[in-house]
A = this chain, B = another copy of it.
Amino acid sequence: MRRTLLLVYAQPEPSSLTRSFAAAAVETLTAQGHQVLQSDLYAMRWKAVLDADDFPARADPARLSFIDESGHAYANGAQTPDVAEEQRKLLAADAVIFLFPLWWYGIPAILKGWFERVYAYGFGYGYQNQGNRLRYGDGALKGKRALLAAMVGGGERDYGPRGINGPLQELLFPVTHGCLFYPGMDVLPTHAVYGVNQLSREQIADQLHAWRKRLAGLFDETPIPFRRQNGGDYPDGHQLAGHIAPDMEGIWAHLAAPSSPTPRPAMTEAAAQ
Question: A130 in the interface, Cβ–Cβ < 8 Å?
Answer: no
Instruction: State which of B49, B115, B170, B178 has its C-beta within 8 Å of the C-beta of A173.
Output: B170
Of the residues B63, B105, B109, B253, contact of A174 by C-beta under 8 Å: B105
With beta carbons under 8 angstroms apart, the residue of B119, B163, B272 that contacts A238 is B163
1/0 per residue A232-273: CB within 8 Å of B? 001001111000000011111110001000111111000110
A106 within 8 A of B: yes
Taken together, the copies of this chain in the complex come to 2
CA distance A12 to B174 in the complex (A): 24
Contact status A116-B112, CB under 8 Å: no
**What's the interface size class on A, roughly?**
35 or more
By beta carbon, the residue of chain B nearest A41 is B49
The chain B residue sitting closest to A182, CB to CB, is: B104
Taking a contact as CB atoms under 8 Å apart, the answer to whether A113 and B109 are in contact is yes
Q: Does any Cβ of B come within 8 Å of A65's Cβ?
A: yes
Interfacial chain B residues near A110, Cβ < 8 Å: 48-49, 109, 113
A166 at the interface (CB under 8 A from B): yes
A20 at interface by CB-CB < 8 Å: no
A154-174 to B contact mask, C-beta < 8 Å, 1/0: 110110111111110011011
Enumerate chain B residues within 8 angstroms of A52, measured Cβ to Cβ: 12
**Taking the complex as formed, is A108 at the interface, i.e. its CB lies under 8 A from any CB of chain B?**
yes
Cβ contact within 8 Å between A13 and B239: no
Q: Which residue of B lies closest to A64 (CB)?
A: B13
Distance of A160 Cα from B65 Cα, bound (Å): 26
B267, A272: Cβ atoms closer than 8 Å: no
* A197 CB-CB contact with B under 8 Å: yes
- A33 interface contact, C-beta 8 A: no
Contact B104 A116 (CB under 8 A): yes
Let me know if A262 and B251 touch, CB within 8 A: no
* CB pair B238 A158 closer than 8 Å: yes
Q: Quick one: CB contact mask for A189-230 with B, threshold 8 Å, 1 for yes? A: 000000001000000000000000000000000000000010
Contact A167 B108 (CB under 8 A): no
Indicate whether A266 sits within 8 Å of B272 (C-beta atoms), given known contacts A12-B52, A238-B164: no
A206 to B231, CA, bound (A): 37
- A252 cross-chain contacts in B, Cβ below 8 A: 250
Closest 3 CB pairs of A and B: A109-B113, A105-B178, A105-B174
Known: A42-B49, A105-B179, A160-B239. 11 other contacts (CB 8 A): A106-B112, A108-B116, A109-B112, A132-B154, A158-B238, A161-B249, A166-B251, A167-B251, A170-B173, A250-B262, A251-B251
